[in-house]
Amino acid sequence: MEFVTVNEVGPRDGLQNQPALIDTAGKLQLIRVLVEAGVRHIEATSFVSPKAVPQMADAAELYAALPARGEVDYSVLVPNLKGYERARAAGAKAVAVVLSATETMNLRNINMTLAQARQVCRDVLGRARTDGVAARAYVAVAFACPYEGPTPAGHVVALADEMFAAGAAEVVVADTIGAASPAQVFDLFKILVSRCGAQRLSGHFHDTRALALANVWAALQAGIRKFDSSVGGLGGCPFAPGASGNLATEDLMLMLSQCGYETGIDVTRLRAAVKVAEGLVGRPLGGRMLPWLESQERRKRKEQV
């Protein structure tokens, strides 16, 4: 049975834009139940400016208290060298940078030009390589930008090449606003796989147009075996009108298991993580598969009576 790595981004990407502040204990509870479900790759937090993202102000405190440190690959997002230094001081052993593929997205999101953002990412990746820290680079809005429209595939390939040259061990191709089609995903990943190798690439899909799972399947056919997802579908891009959030981890797990892939994650135990996440954000969550799973469990209970 072929293995697919699932990188859980709910604790960072899923929580960072929530309007109500979530305390460190709540975040740790969510991470613990994810670990109990078998999740072994988690993007735990972000060392961004506390003024810019108050939700992540407890990054150092959270990182110090992470459970099962020897069993789980924890990564953290860093926006620049200052954030990288804070992450290193907290003990982080794996970091990620985010580079938006278009000029306007960088200007609107981080008030930098594309050239400036590329330099910041190169600086962090180079420093991480020198320090022996694992580093991955996201290429955001890789298929379409909310301001500039479709993103040319050749431009994404060039940025991926640049991030690898700067020191990234992995490049994550991100459909940040959920605009990609399976055909686009397959075509772009086939080019990247032929240049870089599938083991150095990952996919990050949003479900804005209900195509996240179809896009995962297209990436699988191109050879990709690592994907980001977020428990309960938490998160989503604030720049995407009507965005429904990230690909739900539980939906990804069900599809992978039914298609014969192994992940090491117990899809039924993810329900506990969804419940914890619901309590943290104060609203119902869950991927499309939860109603079906609950109906199956009700049927089993009736049969046991």
CATH number, domain with residue 202: 3.20.20.70
Instruction: Say if residue 58's pLDDT is above 80.
Output: yes
Catalytic, 145? Answer no
pLDDT (average), residues 21-44 = 98
Taking 70 as the threshold, does the pLDDT of residue 164 lie above it?
yes
Asked if 235 contacts 15 with a C-beta cutoff of 8 angstroms, the reply is yes
Segment 284-288 mean pLDDT: 88
Pair of tokens at residue 298: 């009700």
Q: Which domain does 126 fall in, by range?
A: 5-304
pLDDT, position 80: 97
Confidence tier at 132 by pLDDT (50, 70, 90): very high
Closest CA to 90 of 120, 54, 66: 66
Cα separation, 181 vs 146, whole angstroms: 16
Helices and strands in the chain, H and E counts: 11, 10
Confidence of residue 239 (pLDDT cuts 50, 70, 90): low
Rounded to whole angstroms, the Cα distance separating 264 from 214 reads: 22
Mean pLDDT of all residues in 224-251: 84
SS3 content of the chain, % helix, strand, coil (to 5): 50, 20, 35
Report residue 17's pLDDT band, with 50, 70 and 90 as the boundaries.
confident
Structural domains of the chain, count: 1
- What DSSP string runs through 34-71? HHHTT--EEEEEE---TTT-GGGTTHHHHHHT-S-TTT
Question: For 206-215, what is each residue's pLDDT tens digit?
Answer: 999 999 999 9
- Residue of 121, 196, 237, 259 marked active site: 237
Question: What is the C-alpha to C-alpha distance for residues 91 and 59, in angstroms, rounded to an integer?
Answer: 11
**Contact in structure between 203 and 229 (CB atoms under 8 Å):** no
**What residues does 206 pair with on adjacent strands?**
246
pLDDT at 152 > cutoff 80: yes
Section 151-169 average pLDDT: 98
- % of the chain residues with pLDDT over 70: 97
Q: Average pLDDT, stretch 216-227?
A: 98
Strand 149-150 relative to strand 226-229, pairing: unpaired
CB 53 within 8 A of CB 90: no
**Burial (CB count <10 Å: 0-12, 13-18, 19+), residue 259:** exposed
Determine the pLDDT at residue 243.
56
Residue 292 binned pLDDT confidence (cut-offs 50, 70, 90): confident
